[in-house]
Structures are given as C-alpha cells and as structure tokens.
Amino acid sequence: MTPKTPSESLTVLTDLVLPSETNHIHNLFGGELLARMDRAASIAAQRHSRSISVTASVNHVAFTKAILLGSVVTIEAKVSRAFNSSMEVYIDVWVEDRNSGEKTKANEAIYTFVAVTEIGKPVLVPPIVPETELEQERYDGALRRKQLSLLLAGKIKPEDATELKALFL
C-alpha cells in the first residue's frame, strides 16, 4: 500500500457561531464543537483511507479558550498516524478575531477512526509519512497514545507497552 502524507488528508472547515449553538453566556456549546470536530476528522480519515471511516474513540479534547457567539471558527483535521485499519486524527481549532483577522488556537482534540467496508468490516489503510517537525512529533506520540489506551483498556500487558516503558527507563 502506498504511504500518504498527513497533508493529503487535511480537512478545513470554517463556520460562524450562531445564537442557537451557544449556552446562556454566549459561548459555543462543547457538544457543538465536538460534533464539528468529528465531522472534520471523519472527512480527513476518509480522505486518507478512501473508505468509510467511523469514529472509534475521542482520545483527547482540550477546551482551552471559550468560543464566543459570532466568532469565525476554523477546524483543521488531518491523519497523524495510521495503524492497520485505524487512524489517529489530530484536530486544531482556531478562532478568528473579528476586527484584526488574527487567528488564535482555541482548542485541540485527538480522535481515532477505523476504516470499514459497507458491512462494517475493518479494512487496511495506507501508512503515514510525516513531512514536518510537528507532523513527526504527532506521529511519534500516536504510538504512545495507542499503547496507553490499550493498556488502560486491559488489551495489552504493561511489559508489552514498549513505547511507554521507554519514557520511564
């Protein structure tokens, strides 16, 4: 299978925060942002795998900055690493200042998707070849994050978490 770069899966969604999408203090609902991130990540995973891709897990979400009513929000998602049939998708959320146009990182998330057939059977996905330093950092971290997830779920033994052991030895 021919490897792909993260940029081949890049998905950028830009939208406006409307009143019906905010809470009583006029901030974007967290669930609304999660749904937007899930859509962008789904498209990125499908672009990488060229298969139906379903959300397997939401591994990490950081709500570090409130997103206000009327804000322009840009969500960037791309595959950071591919395993057999699963893909880690890293998502960056940016808010654009209405007056200056300056973009500030507001949030980030990491989702895992699995590529499947029409009947839900997992299919193999191409490997990833990082091109930038940031892509390499995210690629390297993906294996540690996967091992930690498997360890916490009881699917691997501590001695098999080689990447995690390397952090402490």
In this predicted structure, the answer to whether residue 152 has a pLDDT above a threshold of 90 is no
CA distance 125 to 147: 19
Structure confidence by residue, pLDDT tens digits, 118-138: 999 999 999 999 999 999 999
Per the CB < 8 A criterion, the answer to whether 143 and 59 are in contact is: no
Tally of residues, the chain: 169
Q: Where are the domains of the chain?
A: 6-130
Class of the 6-130 domain? Answer: alpha beta
CA distance readout (Å), 75 to 44, 47, 57, 93: 11, 16, 18, 5
CA distance 164 to 122: 27
pLDDT confidence band for 2 (50 / 70 / 90): very high
Q: In this predicted structure, which of 44-48, 50-54, 85-89, 152-156 has the lowest mean pLDDT?
A: 152-156
What tokens does 139 get? 């690629």
Position 25, amino acid: I
Q: Quote the pLDDT of residue 99.
A: 83
Closest residue by Cα to residue 67 from 92, 96, 41, 90: 96
Per the CB < 8 A criterion, the answer to whether 144 and 164 are in contact is: yes
Contacts of 108 (CB under 8 A, 6+ apart): 60, 61, 62, 64, 90, 91, 92, 93
pLDDT confidence band for 158 (50 / 70 / 90): confident
